[in-house]
Amino acid sequence: MRFFIPLLLLVAAALARNIDDEVHHKQNRFKDRDHLHIGADAPPMMKLAADGQLRAVEDSEYWNEKCQQELKDQLAVTPIVSQAKNVIFFLADGTGVATLTAARLLKGLRTGMYEQERMAWDLFPYSSLIKTYNTNNQVTDSAASATAYLNGVKGNQATIGVDANVQRGDCQAMNVPEYRTQSLSKDFQDENKSAGIVTMSRVTDASPAGTYGHTADRNWESDSDINDDGEDTELCDDLAEQLVLNEPGSKFKVILGGGRQKFLPEGVDDPEEEDQTGRRNDGKNLIDAWLEGSSSMGNATYVWHKDDLLSFDAASTNYLLGLFDYKDMSYAIDEDASNPSLEEMTRAAIAVLQKDSNGYFLFVEGALIDKANHDNEASSALEEAVEFDKAVAAAVEMTDESDTLIIVTADHSQPMTINGYPALHSDIRGVAGVSDVDDIPYLALIYTSGPGYREQTDGVRPDPTEEGYEDPHYVFAAAVPREASTHNGEDVILYARGPHAHLFTGNHENAYITHAIRYAACVGDGLNFCDEKVKV
Ligand SMILES: *[C@@H]1O[C@H](CO)[C@@H](O)[C@H](O)[C@H]1NC(C)=O
Ligand SMILES: *[C@@H]1O[C@H](CO)[C@@H](O)[C@H](O)[C@H]1NC(C)=O
Ligand SMILES: [Zn+2]
């Protein structure tokens, strides 16, 4: 039965292709709007019934059968009450539910599963809503959010790994030991387990820095950033320095992402970027320092090109550093030859980490979803979310649900919305309808803030169909002009599978996530599943 339904769908989809083509054809002809029903309901898919009559494919029988199966699957879900040996934390940066839904529709358009497509996380048995406000703002940035979900304590906007006693830019306060929080990666290392990070942004960017950093300002990624702010680099360690020289970062088994400029000194040429050298003022080459430090603990490999990541030998590598770009890594749509995909990095990371029989903590960030959303480039954001889905699917494939807790969540939302009423099976990046007020088409995706704001000419709203919205870098419309979109403040969703995934239901603080992981994995302070088991 489970196989029958998708098969039926494929057949139905094939039957519907003509209708679908017709809809697309119509959407390319909006100039002739009078004859158009953009956003009109698609005609139903039809099947030949046993009695020779044409009937709707998706009739009562269809939905009853499908949802009975869904109910049986749900009834079969049982909590896995055992210690989580491994934890993989997937973070979709700046990804609200609308972005997830739209990305699923884009994937479904390509597979022919359309609206019934499922992302890797849609198959996880548990989910929860997560509150993301921080200690001084209702709408969080990635730094304060990372402090919460990776350290179990909410902090102030733009600060990382420090509690609410540290204000942004307070270099002295960030060094006070009592104000510093402890990250999950340190908790794991304290139990002789491994830790690693993977991101599409600079490895010193705010979200990954939540796994190892303590800073009063997320922008202090290299010493030159601190100098630019007129602060004392002797007093305050930058994030790249903390990652390479301080625990827990110095003991990470895997560090993969971008941001070479934060690791190389001025005057040292970047291997890839012409006429670019490092940005460090202190003369430190932190890539060399990493190689030296890690080589003293085992076999250490540094790579900066995708080809070298795809050919490295995980079996003989104990420590892996990959810095694939001078700044952030490139968008999937830009096809940078030196950049591995998020899936490729995730596979490499798990291959190294799973050699630790004690277990591991891996943080994987789909960082560019947020960045594309900030630019109102919705199509690119959706491609990044589809890439994120492939990485999650790879982790599911490479691990065992009985010993690995996988979490998929976001640090905050972005102001992208899905407007009504695009026809069934239509491309979510396209036209949703024609306004009944100004008679001009509008797209399904729109932002409430960002660079996509359009001035009206003579009170007329610009027609998106005359702007080349099919371009993958097209800037979608926004209601409020801003250089970059704001983050959004509604709750984000969290999906979980594996041991103690059932701790993630209902509504929770983002800082709760750390506490639940510590409990499930028997690491760190606070309640702990293994302690409780002993007591019983
Ligand atoms: C971790 O390993 C070290 C060295 O092998 C050992 O001394 C220590 O007791 C271990 N700690 C835990 C929590 O297993
Ligand atoms: C380190 O690499 C060497 C050479 O490839 C290999 O023989 C050795 O087993 C590796 N050591 C570990 C701990 O993996
Ligand atoms: Zn952001």
21 and 164 co-located in one domain: no
466 found inside a domain = no
255 CA from centroid of ligand 2 (Å): 19
Question: Residue 519, exposed/middle/buried by CB under 10 A (0-12, 13-18, 19+)?
Answer: buried
Task: Report the C-alpha gap between 432 and 200 in whole angstroms.
Answer: 31
- Tokens standing for 478? 């926004």
Q: Indicate the annotated binding residues for Mg(2+).
A: 93, 205, 207, 365
The pLDDT of residue 42? 77
Nearest residue CA, atom 13 of ligand 2?
298
Asked, for residue 462, whether it belongs to a domain, the answer is: no
Same domain, 46 and 126: no
For CA atoms 478, 149, 322, 389, the dihedral sign is negative
Q: What is the CA radius of gyration of the chain?
A: 25
CA of 244 to the centre of ligand 2 (A): 22
Q: Are residue 186 and residue 318 in the same domain, yes or no?
A: yes
- The answer to whether the CB of 83 falls within 8 A of the CB of 499 is yes
Q: Quick one: which ligand is closest to 190's CA?
A: 1
Please tell me whether residues 207 and 311 are part of one structural domain.
yes
The predicted model scores a pTM of 0.92
Burial class (CB in 10 A: 0-12, 13-18, 19+), 510: buried
Residues 260, 196, single domain; the answer is yes
Helix axes 4-27, 60-75, angle to 10 degrees: 120
CA distance 205 to 366: 12
Are 110 and 31 found together in one domain? no
Residues 411 and 384: beta-carbon distance below 8 Å: no
CB 260, CB 237: distance < 8 Å:
no
In a domain, 444, yes or no: no
C-alpha to C-alpha distance for 416 and 106, rounded to whole angstroms: 15
Domain C-terminal end among 51, 75, 99: 75
What confidence score (pLDDT) does residue 17 get?
42
* Domain end (from 35, 54, 75): 75
Residue 423 lies in a domain: no
Nearest CA, atom 2, ligand 2: 316
Active site residues: 142
Task: Answer with the one of 12, 42, 75 that is the final residue of a domain.
Answer: 75
200 and 52 share one domain? no
- The answer to whether position 479 is within a domain reads no
* Residues 6+ positions from 3 with CB-CB distance below 8 Å: none
| Cα gap 476→453, rounded to integer Å | 8
Same domain, yes or no: 376 and 308: yes
Instruction: Locate 274 and state its tokens.
Output: 């012409």
Peptide bond into 421 cis (omega under 30): yes
Residue 487: CB partners within 8 Å, gap ≥ 6? 94, 139, 140, 141, 412, 413, 414, 415
Element (H, E) at 5: helix 4-27
Annotated binding-site ranges: 93, 205, 207, 365, 370, 374, 411-412, 487
Residue 430 is assigned to a structural domain of this protein: no
Return the ligand 1 atom nearest residue 192 CA. Answer: 1
Tens of pLDDT, residue by residue, the chain (536 residues): 344 444 444 444 444 444 444 444 434 434 444 434 455 677 888 999 899 999 999 999 999 999 999 999 999 999 999 999 999 999 999 999 999 999 999 999 999 999 999 999 999 999 999 999 999 999 999 999 999 999 999 999 999 999 999 999 999 999 999 999 999 999 999 999 999 999 999 999 999 999 999 999 999 999 999 999 999 999 999 999 999 999 999 999 999 999 999 999 999 999 999 999 999 999 999 999 999 999 999 999 999 999 999 999 999 999 999 999 999 999 999 999 999 999 999 999 999 999 999 999 999 999 999 999 999 999 999 999 999 999 999 999 999 999 999 999 999 999 999 999 999 999 999 999 999 999 999 999 999 999 999 999 999 999 999 999 999 999 999 999 999 999 999 999 999 999 999 999 999 999 999 999 999 999 999 999 998 765 44
196 lies in the same domain as 305: yes
Q: Identify whether residues 31 and 90 lie together within a single domain.
A: no
- What tokens does 372 get? 């594309």
Q: Residue 426: inside a domain, yes or no?
A: no
- Burial (CB count within 10 angstroms: exposed 0-12, middle 13-18, buried 19+), residue 35: exposed
CATH code of 198's domain: 3.40.720.10
Q: Report residues whose beta carbon is within 6 angstroms of any ligand 2 atom.
A: 298-299, 316, 318
With tokens 């009944």, the residue in question is 436
CA of 324 to the centre of ligand 2 (A): 24
The number of distinct structural domains making up the chain is 2
The residue whose C-alpha atom lies closest to atom 10 belonging to ligand 1 is 192
User: The domain containing residue 302 runs over which residues?
Assistant: 86-414+487-535
| Cβ(404)–Cβ(85) below 8 Å | yes
Q: Which atom of ligand 2 is nearest to the CA of 315?
A: 14
Counting ligands in written order, the one closest to the CA of 301 is 2
Q: Which residue has the CA at smallest separation from atom 9 of ligand 2?
A: 316
Residue 246 domain flag: yes
Same domain flag for 67 and 134: no
Task: Kindly state whether residues 109 and 17 are assigned to the same domain.
Answer: no
> Which ligand 1 atom minimizes the distance to the CA of 358?
14
